[in-house]
Amino acid sequence: METRKKILSIDDEENIRLLLSCELEDEGYEVISLGDPQQAMEVIEKEHPDIVLLDIKMPQLSGMELLKMIRDKYYDLPVILLSAYSFYKRDVAAMASDYYVVKSADLTELKKLIKKIFKTRL
């Protein structure tokens, strides 16, 4: 039996976490939701997710900072940055993510990218 792909979703907003986990679980993924980005490295170490969905603007620790930490330790772990603002796409640091998605209630683009990552994973 094929094991379900594991997605770690990091967002300080509970509603967003709920939306992501409901929709992505319906797609057949296992979703771990995390509200506190400061615990992210520990959770990644323990859970070995296949993809990380990362909110950029979080009060405890910015997604960009966390992305740097992830990249430094886990070069191969795909990360999708999520933000309500397309502005952050211009940040050089955002280029260290696999993809950048502007947040929306319609998760079609995000689902497509997740499928693409799993299909083309090196």
Applying CB under 8 A, the residues found at the interface with another protein are 68, 71-72, 75-76, 78, 89-93, 95-98, 116-117, 119-122
**How far does Cα 113 stand from its chain's mean position?**
11
Amino acid at 113: L
CB of 60 to another protein, least distance (A): 21
CA–CA dist 111, 30 (Å, integer): 14
Q: Which is nearer to another protein, 46 or 116 (CB)?
A: 116
CB of 115 to another protein, least distance (A): 11
CB of 42 to another protein, least distance (A): 20
Q: Which is nearer to another protein, 49 or 78 (CB)?
A: 78
Q: Which is nearer to another protein, 16 or 67 (CB)?
A: 67
Burial class (CB in 10 A: 0-12, 13-18, 19+), 71: middle
CA–CA dist 33, 40 (Å, integer): 10
